[in-house]
Amino acid sequence: MKYYWSLVSGSSLASEVLGLGSERVGVNYKSDLRHAKKAIKKDRSFADAYTAQGYAIASRKHDDKWFEESLVYLEKALSIDNDNERALFYLAECYFEAHKYEQALEYFTKTIERNCSYAERSDKRIAFVKKIAKAEPLTDKGWEIAEKDNINRADLCILLIEELKLKNLLHRYRPEQFAKLFDKDFSIRMKNVKVKSEIDNNKSLQVGR
HEC-encoded secondary structure of 51-86: HHHHHHHHHHCCCCCHHHHHHHHHHHHHHHCCCCHH
Q: What tens digit of pLDDT does each residue of 81-137 get?
A: 998 999 999 999 999 888 888 899 999 999 999 888 899 999 999 988 887 666 555
Mean pLDDT of 2-18: 48
User: What is the tens place of the pLDDT at every residue in 20-45?
Assistant: 333 444 556 777 777 788 888 888 88
DSSP label at residue 115: T
- Give Cα separations from 143 to 4, 99, 128, 129, 153 (angstroms): 40, 8, 12, 10, 17
Considering only residues 176 and 80, tell me which one the structure prediction assigns the higher pLDDT.
80
Please name the CATH architecture into which domain 2-97 falls.
Answer: Alpha Horseshoe (1.25)
Comparing CA positions, the residue from 130, 36, 51 lying closest to residue 85 is 51
Higher pLDDT, 51 or 153: 51
Flag whether pLDDT at 154 surpasses 90: no
Judge contact between 114 and 85, C-beta under 8 A. yes
> CA 17, CA 5: separation in Å to the nearest integer?
11
Write out the DSSP string of 159-177.
HHHHTS-HHHHHHHH-HHH
List b or e across 145-157, with b for residues whose CB sees 16 or more CB atoms inside 10 angstroms: bbeeeeebebbeb
pLDDT score at 21: 34
Q: State the pTM of this model.
A: 0.59
Q: What is the pLDDT of residue 136?
A: 53
Please report which confidence band the pLDDT of residue 19 belongs to, taking 50, 70 and 90 as the band edges. very low
The pLDDT score that the predictor gives to residue 1 is 46
